[in-house]
Amino acid sequence: MNSGTTKEFKLSKGYRNYVFILLCLLYLFDYMDRMVVTSLFPFIKQDWGLTDAECGMFVSAVYWSIIIFTFPVSIMVDRWSRRKSIGFMAVLWSIATAVCALTKNFTQLFMARSVIGVGEAGYAPGGTAMLSGLYPQEKRSQMMGIWNAFIPIGAALGIAVGGIIAKNFGWQHAFGLVALPGLIIAIMFFFVKDYKTVDLTKTLTTDNTGTTRLKMKAMDIFKEFMATPSLILTYFGFACVTFVTVSLMTWLPTFFHRVQGIPEDKAGVMAAGVMLLALVGSPLGGFLTDLWLKKNAKARPFFATFTTIISAVLLFIAFTFLDGNVRYACILFVGLTIIAFLPAAAAITQDVVHPGLRAISYAFCVIIQNLLGSSTGPIVIGSISDSYGIKTALSVLPVSLVIAAVLFFLASFFYVKDVNKVEKVVLEME
């Protein structure tokens, strides 16, 4: 506590839940706006004569913008205001989504999709930092599990609703209709309560006075991250899993349409069903991780390792040995397991860093996962599909999951030591 003018950051359970619900809804509309375009691919291809790789660029455009803008926006989040930053970003991505309905060619739609990415650049870091302040460390995976479940829910709704609207009213209308709800929630978010910006200071031991606090400089912050191996390994493990999840979200509707002969609108609904299973997988993963954490300090990296391996095996079996409804049932189960790693991995990015660097920590995670995973997956899989077919393209995805599992397992050797060296800070109310 600095003075009598501030008080420790404590909110009632009801108000915490209110802020949490707004955060969840924003994540839902974030991914609706981001992924609605995937079920529109057949319609846009027909109108504009595009290739699969070019369609994949409409997804990648969002992630390229996120890569460029996440770090500077996250500095604003950590050093200015989480709630105001999140509100401004949500307004921007909602308006940009609506503008997509007015585009007339590839370049215009690509540019509008890029602006969506600018708006979404800091939401995951900002939201993650807010959650870390709202709930104690022992509940962090559980709450992040519920929050992150709204990623595939939003993606699933965007894919399903987009296909239905496009078939009945035209693909342009799909963009306009998904943009409005997010704009309303964005405006509401300007008025929530949050904790004060945390001073970037470090406690040092001295010979004479015992301890002293020094302001962290840019090089100190850089060393803070580079000297945390569990964090770096988690970043790259995250990227490998994200390569797979975004590729599945992007190309499963096309796979069901081309390989299994499913109509476009039904193919979108089937793909959405896979994403919706994260409604169970993500919260369950967070709950089991925190439950295991009571008995094993390394539970978070261990849980990410095991669930990622399970997903790799299931995906390999589905695309290599199965067909028809049996294959779909197996892919549905992948939708349950592949998201389960996320609460544990996201919590690691918050557990092992200074409280004043939480948004920046997740920003680095977002940059790496989008640079190596989200932005490359749709194009790489689309390019392989153009040459060898969509089934062959999706069959390479388990390799990325195996690499991720190895990285998470290596992180477990450093995690406990990295947690124990984190600066202890009392959060104060704005």
What digits encode the pLDDT tens for the residues 150-175? 887 888 788 888 888 888 888 888 88
| pLDDT over 80 at 213, yes or no | no
Distances (CA, A) of 318 to 26, 33, 99, 289, 389: 33, 29, 38, 27, 16
- The reported pLDDT for the residue numbered 6 is 42
For residues 205-226, give the mean pLDDT: 64
- Give strand pairing partners of 205: 211
| pLDDT over 80 at 218, yes or no | no
Burial class (CB in 10 A: 0-12, 13-18, 19+), 404: buried
Mean residue pLDDT of the chain comes to 84
- The reported pLDDT for the residue numbered 180 is 84
- The reported pLDDT for the residue numbered 4 is 40
- The reported pLDDT for the residue numbered 111 is 94
Residue listed under structure tokens 């978070």: 300
Closest C-alpha to 393, from 403, 373, 379: 379
Neighbours of 410 (CB within 10 A): 18
- Per domain, the residue ranges of the chain are 13-195+221-420
Taking the C-alpha atoms of residue 334 and residue 311, their distance in angstroms, rounded to an integer, is 6
| First-last CA distance in the chain | 12
Residue listed under structure tokens 């070019």: 54
Alpha-helical (H) ranges within 49-204 are 52-79, 82-100, 106-120, 123-134, 140-148, 150-169, 171-189
Neighbours of 77 (CB within 10 A): 31
Which range is least confidently modeled, 216-220, 241-245, 251-255?
216-220
- The reported pLDDT for the residue numbered 1 is 36
Which range is least confidently modeled, 212-226, 295-309, 329-343, 379-393?
212-226
Per-residue tokens: 186: 């964005």
The rounded Cα 376 to chain-centroid distance in angstroms is 15
Residue 50's identity, in one-letter code, is L
**For residues 330 and 321, is the Cβ–Cβ distance under 8 A?**
no
What digits encode the pLDDT tens for the residues 47-69? 888 888 788 888 888 888 888 88
Task: Tell me the fold of 13-195+221-420.
Answer: Growth Hormone; Chain: A; (1.20.1250)
- The reported pLDDT for the residue numbered 199 is 58
- The reported pLDDT for the residue numbered 3 is 39
**For residues 77 and 122, is the Cβ–Cβ distance under 8 A?**
yes
Q: DSSP letter for 370, please.
A: I
Taking the C-alpha atoms of residue 131 and residue 145, their distance in angstroms, rounded to an integer, is 11
- The reported pLDDT for the residue numbered 359 is 76
Closest C-alpha to 347, from 334, 335, 358: 358
